[in-house]
Amino acid sequence: MLAVRDVAVSGYRSLHAIRFPLGSLSVFIGANGVGKTNLYRVLEYLQSAATDTLIRNLVAEGSLDSVSWAGARKVHESARIRWSVELADNVSGLAYDYAVEVGCKPPVAAAGFPLEPELKTERLRLISARRPATLLHRDGPGGFLRDGEGRKRSLGGDLLPSETVLGTVQDGGSYPDLHQVRSALAAWRFHHDVRTDAGSALRRPCLAVTTPTLSSDGSDLAAVFATLAHIRQDTVDLAAAVDDAFPGARLDLPVPGRQAQFGMVFPDYPKRVFAAAELSDGTLRFLALAGALLAYRLPPFMALNEPETSLHPDLLAPLARLIVKASARTQVWLVTHSERLADAILAEGGTRPHRVIQREGATWIEGLKLFGAFAEDD
């Protein structure tokens, strides 16, 4: 499994130039407006390079006019955004560095719409000490890929300026390293947009399909619970988490037919099953987080953005225990406003939060040194 060792970005919104390491559990806390969400969005853009949706997502966010670095630039500094990530397999020792850069389209460009950004450069390097090599080198439309035998192959002339090589080249047999990096990034999960309103998919049954990992929007939560209960036949951790958050309560997980569904039984009403549609927003949100963090198979990387939203303060300690437990199985990134949640995670697992601040108009992280390490790691 490829874990994230560090992430870097330059030229994006409040992020002028920053590089920082990640551990098995990384917690970021800060006030409104300091740029926590921008850090989170960096991860989404790296994944979008793997799914070939980077330019589409950039345009949807407002294109370069809206998302480029908002501060002062040097005289000849161009409006470009660069994202990079270092990934490593702690078992095999393999390590990769992937970077992608986006800029404005030249006025005479033949392909693409006038205001559409374009991919400028893209790199994938194998940085393991045993055999470092450049696996992907792209400048504009030209460049090369290195296949599994180490031979260079031209990118060809049909690559559009809106397409990433990482997301477009699907020949995993010829390019196994490219395939491994793309698969790792594409498997990341982002849990920030889980709706709990009356129209939420969480409140309705879902298709009864064996589901080992919760989707980012949580719409297959009932199937995740049913997989644990009726396929894996192991709900010990799930039952303990529910009882921890709602003492005396339990989940009701009927055997699925064509659809899967769940309900809750509370100690005050032991003979009454409350369907998902009847649960409070906070209860449903906690269950969605439990489904994400306790699913049979966790993604290689999971990002949570303000998971405390809608939760009663009494649920933060049980949530912290779930997060710490999950970080033993996968890599977890957490952005939060809640000092109480951050303190609970510190108490449960010993992970100290990193405080996001503004420094000279740019988003920064307290204790981060210019070369990309935290002071406490020295």
CA pair distance 119, 74, nearest whole angstrom? 22
Q: Render pLDDT for 96-113 as a digit per residue (tens, 0 to 9).
A: 999 999 998 776 555 667
Q: Render pLDDT for 286-344 as a digit per residue (tens, 0 to 9).
A: 999 999 999 999 999 999 999 999 999 999 999 999 999 999 999 999 999 999 999 99
Q: pTM of the entire structure? A: 0.92
Of 35, 43, 41, 38, the closest CA to residue 7 belongs to 43
32-46, 66-80, 225-239: least confident range? 66-80
Residue 371 binned pLDDT confidence (cut-offs 50, 70, 90): confident
- Residue type at position 351: T
Whether the CA torsion 284, 286, 292, 295 is positive or negative: it is negative
CA pair distance 321, 329, nearest whole angstrom? 13
How much of the chain exceeds pLDDT 90, in percent? 82
pLDDT surpassing 60 at residue 59: yes
Q: How many other C-beta atoms can be found within 10 angstroms of the C-beta atom of residue 337?
A: 15
Q: Render pLDDT for 280-298 as a digit per residue (tens, 0 to 9).
A: 999 999 999 999 999 999 9
Residue 112 is predicted with a pLDDT of: 66
Sketch out the chain's domains with CATH numbers: 3-187+356-377 (3.40.50.300), 190-351 (3.40.50.300)
pLDDT surpassing 80 at residue 378: no
pLDDT surpassing 80 at residue 73: no
